[in-house]
């Protein structure tokens, strides 16, 4: 009774409508599709697809292949790291685990150096370590293949240094290396943010009690950084599972992401979609959720969304000793610079005439000209812009509404809403894409909304749901700076909730909304999971990222087409950079948003 | 207009009871102050009046109308927030005009009224500044102007002086009183500063842990604190343990160790033989006249400090019994010298011992 009175008093009509709107959008376009994804295979009355999960290619025990091969090449030995094939499901888990462990180690190492030491070249390192977050759909992984893969630069480099062995990575080993390079900065940035937030007196107190050096680090610094580490590791695991680029570049077909995409691309209508890939997409979702709840113990989704501003105090910073200096210049520097290679490589490909040998040759703008006069690309670009703008309308509504509710409503269960609206960050995009495809493919079969006829609608929805958390978080950050009393003062003077929202709240968070929208828009433009699956179903309506994928993989893939794809991605990087710089300037964030 | 009644208000934040059965009757046109230590529920009371918090129990009446369930924007209560809550994206003029716009006044009327309000608070000429371009004192005045310009039935001020420096505080509080008298508006004023409360209020409600413990005029509160909390909250006092020896005609004789004093019990009346606490204000303790015998304590001067007009002396009566009092500034006392101090029986306040345990 009392609770009811409280609810009716807190909820004026506008608030209730806002809540209803948010909940229905998320139910229709996230919760229902994902539930359907999980439940539909169960309604098939057939165990067969589930039993498939226990057979090749989904499961392959004992594994096939070799961990590594050494071959004599006259003057030198070639060490080729491969990794064995355990089948689609176990491969995915194995790769994600390995990438998570490696990324976490590297991320913590670099974060420690950056957060606690002051040394010449630190700024360079800081910039280089953020470079990998510039999103390079597909092409980045192909650059890494050029470096680490068959006959790659690493091997050549070792030989030219006079070493008797050359190393190259292929298959699963290559995927692990590439993904580690792509994803470790996520751990680094999150850990760094945590470390900068540690109250220096906590460490000083421990020091005061006789703890120092490694023991201080192990007993105080690391445990206090755990939320950041967990957030980073949590994301990396999920990103790795749904990544397509590295498996494609290193020609690994037996992972979940590739199976899902290949199957959708090959299907002409909803019946042709194999039940086993629906199961795979559901499994991907369950694995991500399971992992997410495991790390959630340490971290709330808030830290997933964007990195905090760093400490309010002056963090403790030291001059490195000899040992640490060695570590910095011989381990950390090369690692970090190496990780910026995909972005650098994209530009090398985009501006070079050819890159067959060790170094790229010839300088040209031809690829940009070619790309911008390619009908497919131009149409894809136009489609992407239209979808992203349409998605942005939805995103602005979702983002401002849900963040307002979460920050202002003092009701039980409101944190569940928070988790719901931020969850797209931790849910594999391919599962969302598959869920939307299956649900709306069945519901609207042979209507204008059938994704096999008009994928545009689902693309907009997919972009909106997946990229809304960036805006939500930016607005939320703004709302936290707007003291509640500012709204209360308005209501106290006779302004209704709606008038308060429009005259007080919106003007004060306007910049946050704009900055968040900018980021959401840019990431919509470079969205991959929905774009190449749902987007492939009608080429007339396919977005830009689909054509990048198409250039790299389809009949006309390889050869010169990587230059063309790179030219597109180079343009995307420039737009991303501009958006990030601009929104950081507006929001005064110390770090970039995490791109997904 | 402006008679406000709170009837048995109880307010929880989660499990925490912030207001416990609070009842108040605030007369039209008076300055009514809620006084109490930080966290006792003063702001919460104001927020309940303004409709910013919904109480779990109880009712709020304004001029006889039950407004408990009315939304903040449906009540004629204007609040001045502790941090002022000025809108940073609006000029001074727009801040003050906001409430008038919400009431649907015409442009000309709004201009006239804003001008009037700004003149009243002495801010004419600053209409086009933004809040961040103003000093703390000026911001405070804008907040005040914004609240009074809508001519509310009740003006609610939440620690309006707490963000000002000490000198400004005294001046502004006098201005607020002048303004209130001029407008004849009912005012509920929140502060934790007893001197501030004493100097401006018609009546004061003392709050402690979400409860109203005493309501009265400043004089009543000061001279007849009905419970231990109020007695020790107002001014600086000696607190001593004692045992009631005898009672006659409301005059209690209380033993403090070997010595004893006569005193009064303004609240609950203890019985003979009962343990009590005795509260004596520092300024009520003076040097005994030669020949004075009743209510005199003899001891040695343990500490003497010169504090301007007076000498503050701590007198050690016996093991465990010391009392602080004031002597005239020109008197001479040596540390360690014997000294006799006296206190009149009406200044010796006796409360049941259980009051200490709260
Ligand atoms: N929104 C809130 N949620 C939980 N507790 C609160 C909230 N607001 C106030 N309180 C608690 O209620 C008590 C009374 O608060 P308040 O009315 O602000 O006290 P005062 O204004 O007298 O200092 C305090 O203990 C405070 O911590
Ligand atoms: Mg308060």
The reported pLDDT for the residue numbered A588 is 58
Nearest-Cα residue of chain A relative to residue B149: A493
Closest C-alpha to A260, from A48, A438, A85 = A438
In a domain, residue A29? The reply is no
Both tokens of residue A163? 């070493």
**Distance in angstroms (rounded) separating the CA atoms of residues A180 and A236:** 9
One-character DSSP codes across B31-97: EEEEE-STTSSHHHHHHHHHTSS--SEEEEEETTEE-TT--GGGS-EEEE-TT----TTS-HHHHHH
Residue of the nearest CA to atom 2 in ligand 1? B13
| C-alpha A122 to ligand 1 mean position (Å) | 46
Given this model, what pLDDT does residue B100 score? 95
φ/ψ (deg, to 5) at A305? -65, -50
Would you say residue A8 lies in a domain? Answer: no
Residues in a beta bridge with A441: none
Q: Which residues pair with B321 in a beta bridge?
A: B318
Name the CA radius of gyration of chain A, rounded: 25
Ligand 1 atom index nearest CA of B45 = 17
Please give all residues whose CB falls under 5 A of ion ligand 2, grouped by chain where several chains appear.
B 43
Long-range Cβ contact pairs of A494-503 (< 8 A, separation 24 or more): A494/B73, A494/B99, A494/B102, A494/B103, A494/B150, A495/B73, A495/B98, A495/B102, A496/A12, A496/A14, A496/B71, A496/B73, A497/A12, A497/A13, A497/A14, A497/A15, A498/A14, A499/B102, A501/A14, A501/A404, A503/B98
**Which of B12, B17, B58, B87 would you mutate first to test chain A, the one with the most A CBs within 10 A?**
B87
Calculate the CA dihedral of residues A557, A560, A562, A565 and round it to 10 degrees.
Answer: -90
Cα distance between residue B353 and residue B242, in whole Å: 9
Domain limits at A595? Answer: 367-596
Provide the whole-model pTM: 0.80
Structure confidence by residue, pLDDT tens digits, B272-316: 999 999 999 998 999 998 888 889 999 999 998 888 788 899 999
B63: tokens are: 């001029």
Q: Report the relative pairing of strands B186-191 and B211-216 from DSSP bridges.
A: unpaired
pLDDT value, residue A593: 42
Burial, B273: exposed, middle or buried (Cβ in 10 Å; 0-12, 13-18, 19+)?
A: exposed
Contact predicate A592/A546, CB 8 Å? no
CA distance B357 to A26: 54
Domain of A496, CATH number, reads 1.10.3720.10
Taking the CA atoms of B235, B237, B243 and B245 in sequence, report the sign of the dihedral they define: negative
Provide the percentage of residues in chain B whose pLDDT is more than 70: 99
Tell me whether A498 touches chain B (CB under 8 Å): no
Q: Which domains does chain B have, with CATH numbers?
A: 4-228 (3.40.50.300), 229-357 (2.40.50.140)
* Helix, strand, or coil (residue B225): coil
**CA of B86, closest CA in chain A: separation in Å?**
7
Burial of A302 (0-12, 13-18, 19+ CB in 10 A): middle
Give the pairing of strands B186-191 and B203-208: unpaired
Residue A414 resides in a domain: yes
Residue A9 touches partner B, C-beta closer than 8 Å: yes
Give the residue from B141, B129, B145, B149 showing the smallest Cα distance to B173: B141
Q: Is A461 contained in some domain?
A: yes
**So what's the pLDDT on residue A92?**
95
Q: How far is Cα B65 from Cα B7, in angstroms, rounded to an integer?
A: 13
> Average pLDDT by consecutive 10-residue portion of chain A (596 residues)?
70 84 92 92 80 82 85 84 89 96 94 87 83 84 89 85 88 95 88 76 69 73 80 88 92 92 86 86 91 70 37 65 87 88 91 84 89 89 94 93 86 83 90 93 89 93 93 86 91 92 91 86 89 91 91 65 89 84 66 38
Q: What is the pLDDT of residue A557?
A: 45
Whether the bond between A62 and the residue before it is cis, its omega within 30 degrees of 0, is: yes
Domain contains A451: yes
In a domain, A132, yes or no: no
**Ligand 1 pocket at CB < 6 A:** B 13, 16, 18, 36, 38-44
Residue B245 has pLDDT above 80, yes or no: yes
Distance from Cα B45 to the centre of ligand 2, integer Å: 9
Identify whether the C-beta of residue B78 lies closer than 8 Å to the C-beta of residue B155.
Answer: yes
Q: Give chain A's domain count.
A: 1
* Alpha carbon distance, N-terminus to C-terminus of chain B: 39
DSSP track, B287-326: EPPTT--TTEEEEEEEEEEE-SSEEEEEEEEETTEEEEEE
The pLDDT of residue A93 is 94
φ, ψ for residue B34 (rounded to 5)?
-100, 120
Task: State both tokens at A149.
Answer: 């893969």
Give how far B89 is from chain A: nearest CA, Å.
Answer: 7
Is A508 within 8 Å of chain B by CB?
yes
Task: Name the residue of chain A whose CA is nearest to B100's CA.
Answer: A493
Of the candidates B278, B288, B277, B276, which has an alpha carbon nearest to the alpha carbon of residue B325?
B288
Whose tokens are 């608070």? That residue is B121
Q: Does A501 touch chain B (CB under 8 A)?
A: no
Measured CA to CA, the distance from residue A595 to residue A525 in angstroms comes to: 12
The three-state secondary structure class of B251 is strand
pLDDT digits (tens, 9 = 90+) for B108-136: 999 999 999 999 999 999 999 999 899 99
pLDDT of residue A299: 57
- Report H helices in A352-453: 366-372, 375-408, 414-422, 429-443
Q: At residue B71, what are phi and psi to the nearest 5 degrees?
A: -70, 160
Query: CA-to-CA distance for A190 and A188, rounded, in angstroms?
Result: 6
Give the pLDDT confidence score for residue A61 in this predicted structure.
82
Cα-trace Rg, chain B? 25
Q: Does residue B107 or residue A205 have the better pLDDT? A: B107
Give first-to-last CA distance, chain A, whole Å: 45
Strand blocks (E) in A176-317: none
Residues B91-124 as b/e (b if ≥16 CB within 10 A, e otherwise) read bbbbbbbbbbbbeebeeeebeebbeebbebbebe
pLDDT surpassing 60 at residue B82 = yes
Matching residue, tokens 């300055």: B31
Spatial separation of the C-alpha atoms in residues B262 and B247, rounded to whole Å: 9
Residue A410 CB burial class (10 angstroms; 0-12, 13-18, ≥19): exposed
ipTM: 0.83
């Amino acid at each position: 009774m009392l609770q009811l009175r409280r609810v009716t008093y807190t909820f004026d009509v506008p608030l209730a409508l806002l809540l209803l709107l948010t909940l229905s959008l998320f139910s229709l376009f996230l919760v229902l599709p994902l539930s359907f994804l999980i439940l539909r295979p169960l309604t098939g009355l057939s165990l067969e697809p589930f039993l498939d999960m226990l057979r090749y290619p989904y499961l392959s025990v004992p594994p096939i292949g070799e961990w590594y091969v050494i071959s004599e090449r006259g003057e030198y030995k070639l060490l080729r790291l491969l990794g064995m094939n355990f089948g689609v499901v176990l491969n995915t888990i194995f790769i994600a685990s390995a990438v998570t462990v490696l990324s976490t180690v590297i991320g913590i190492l670099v974060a420690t150096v950056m957060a606690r030491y002051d040394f010449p070249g630190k700024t360079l390192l800081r910039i280089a370590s953020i470079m990998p977050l510039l999103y390079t759909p597909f092409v980045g992984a192909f650059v890494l293949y050029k470096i680490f893969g068959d006959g790659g630069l690493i091997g050549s480099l070792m030989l030219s240094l006079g070493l008797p062995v050359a190393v190259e990575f292929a298959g699963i080993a290559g995927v692990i290396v590439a993904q580690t390079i792509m994803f470790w900065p996520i751990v680094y940035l999150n850990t760094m943010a945590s470390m900068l937030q540690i109250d220096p007196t906590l460490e000083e107190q421990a020091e005061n009690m006789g703890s120092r050096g490694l023991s201080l680090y192990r007993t105080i610094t690391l445990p206090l950084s755990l939320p950041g580490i967990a957030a980073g590791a949590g994301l990396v695991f999920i990103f790795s599972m749904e990544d397509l680029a590295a498996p494609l570049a290193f020609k690994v077909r037996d992972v979940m992401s590739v199976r899902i995409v290949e199957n959708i691309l090959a299907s002409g209508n909803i019946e042709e979609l194999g039940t086993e890939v629906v199961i795979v997409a559901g499994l991907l979702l369950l694995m991500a959720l399971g992992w997410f709840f495991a790390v959630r113990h340490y971290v709330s989704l808030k830290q997933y969304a964007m990195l905090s501003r760093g400490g309010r105090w002056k963090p403790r910073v030291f001059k490195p000793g000899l040992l640490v200096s060695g570590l910095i210049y011989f381990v950390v520097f090369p690692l970090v610079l190496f990780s910026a290679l995909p972005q650098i490589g994209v530009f090398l490909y985009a501006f070079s005439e050819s890159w067959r040998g060790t170094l790229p040759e010839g300088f040209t703008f031809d690829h940009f000209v070619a790309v911008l006069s390619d009908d497919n690309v131009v149409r894809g670009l136009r489609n992407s812009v239209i979808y992203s703008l349409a998605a942005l309308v939805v995103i602005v509504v979702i983002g401002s509404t849900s963040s307002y509710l979460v920050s202002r409503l003092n009701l039980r269960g409101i944190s569940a809403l928070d988790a719901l609206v931020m969850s797209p960050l931790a849910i594999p995009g391919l599962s969302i894409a598959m869920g939307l495809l299956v649900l709306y493919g069945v519901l609207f079969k042979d209507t204008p909304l059938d994704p096999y006829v008009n994928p545009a609608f689902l693309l907009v929805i997919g972009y909106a749901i997946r990229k809304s958390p960036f805006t939500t978080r930016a607005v939320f950050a703004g709302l936290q700076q707007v003291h509640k009393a500012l709204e209360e003062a308005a209501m106290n003077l006779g302004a209704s909730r709606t008038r308060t929202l429009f005259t007080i709240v919106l003007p004060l968070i306007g910049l946050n909304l704009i900055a968040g929208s900018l980021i959401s828009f840019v990431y919509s433009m470079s969205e991959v999971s929905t774009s190449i699956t749902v987007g492939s179903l009608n080429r007339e309506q396919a977005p830009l990222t689909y054509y990048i994928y198409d250039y790299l993989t389809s009949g006309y893939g390889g050869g010169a087409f990587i230059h063309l794809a790179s030219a597109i991605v180079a343009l995307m990087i420039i737009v991303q950079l501009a958006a990030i710089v601009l929104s950081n300037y507006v929001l005064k964030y110390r770090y970039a948003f995490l791109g997904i | 207009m402006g008679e406000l009644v709170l009837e048995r208000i109880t307010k929880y934040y989660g499990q925490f009871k912030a207001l416990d059965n609070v009842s108040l009757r605030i007369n039209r046109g008076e300055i009514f102050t809620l006084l109490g230590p930080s966290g006792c529920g003063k702001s919460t009371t104001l927020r309940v009046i303004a409709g910013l918090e919904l109480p779990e129990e109880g009712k709020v009446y304004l001029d006889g109308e039950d407004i408990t369930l009315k939304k903040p924007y449906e009540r004629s209560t204007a609040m001045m927030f502790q941090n002022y809550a000025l809108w940073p994206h609006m000029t001074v003029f727009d801040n003050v005009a906001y409430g008038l716009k919400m009431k649907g006044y015409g442009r000309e009327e709004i201009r006239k009224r804003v001008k009037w309000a700004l003149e009243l608070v002495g801010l004419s000429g600053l209409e086009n500044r933004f809040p961040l371009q103003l000093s703390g004192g000026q911001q405070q005045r804008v907040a005040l102007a914004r609240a009074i310009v809508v001519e509310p039935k009740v003006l609610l001020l939440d620690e309006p002086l707490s963000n000002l420096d000490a000198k400004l505080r005294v001046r502004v509080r006098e201005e607020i009183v002048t303004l209130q008298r001029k407008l004849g508006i009912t005012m509920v004023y929140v502060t934790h500063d007893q001197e501030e409360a004493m100097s401006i209020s018609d009546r004061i409600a003392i709050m402690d842990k979400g409860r109203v413990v005493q309501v009265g005029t400043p004089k009543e509160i000061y001279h007849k604190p009905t419970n231990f909390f109020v007695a020790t909250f107002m001014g600086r006092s000696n607190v001593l343990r004692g045992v009631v020896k005898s009672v006659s005609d409301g005059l209690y004789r209380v033993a403090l160790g070997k010595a004893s004093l006569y005193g009064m019990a303004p609240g609950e009346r203890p019985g003979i033989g009962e343990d009590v606490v005795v509260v004596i204000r520092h300024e009520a303790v003076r040097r005994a006249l030669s020949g004075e015998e009743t209510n005199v304590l003899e001891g040695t001067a343990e500490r003497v400090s010169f504090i301007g007009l007076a000498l503050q002396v701590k007198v050690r009566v016996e093991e465990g019994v010391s009392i602080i009092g004031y002597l005239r500034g020109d008197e001479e006392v040596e540390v360690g010298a014997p000294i006799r101090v006296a206190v009149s029986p009406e200044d010796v306040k006796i409360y049941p011992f259980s009051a200490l345990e709260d």
